[in-house]
Amino acid sequence: MRLGSIETGKMVIYPIVDKLDDEGHQLINWVAEIQRDNAAMNDWNHKGDLKDFLGIFKDWRFPWLDVAALIANAEQILEYPMVDKDPVPQWTFGRVTLLGDAAHPMYPRGSNGSAQALIDARVLAEQLALQAGGDARAALQAYEQLRLAPTANIVLTNRSVPPDFINIKVDELSGGKPFADIDALISQQELRAISDHYKQVAGFSLEAATK
């Protein structure tokens, strides 16, 4: 599940192993995210400190989940930066090309880090197959031409209208207050339009998936 927004505090929570023991416990992974202008760059394996963020989620207690307890009882907490890089103008250099994060590091939202790498690999394989026995350089250039602009668009969209923009929008419309009916804040048509827009940008639309 995904709760909150990056502007006020966001949690992504999902189970990894079900029925971990005879008592039915689960092994759960969670990510707490907050957008801060003064955040310093750190190492990917930097040990996290509860006092830096637990206060944001201390009142997040629901009948079906105690978020504060989930955080406080974690076996391990790591801190890592949510970073990307500006799109580059070229991936291919002779018989060498880039793919995945090497080509387009982006914010890890919407599973796009892995998803776009898989799409890169598919397109690259297709272009190499078309050039079987021919010029591999031409295949690499065709792959770059097909993938460079779409992935650059995703990198930039993840900064302005990320896949969880719906959460941000609803949080803004509600003034950060609890609400009983989302339809009183935003129509289903508007929600669908936001979702469909990102699917089109990321190549996850039904049309793209069935090509």
Question: Buried b / exposed e across 175-191, counting CB within 10 Å, b at 16+?
Answer: eeeeeeeeeebbeeeeb
- With a CB cutoff of 8 Å and minimum separation 6, the contacts of 75 are none
CA–CA separation, 201 vs 12, rounded Å? 22
Choosing from 14, 107, 143, 198, the catalytic residue is: 14
Tokens of 161: 């209208």
Active site residue 14: yes
| Cα distances (angstroms) measured from residue 86 to each of 46, 100, 168 | 24, 14, 23
Per DSSP, the three-state class of 200 is helix
Tokens of 80: 């890592």
Catalytic residues: 14
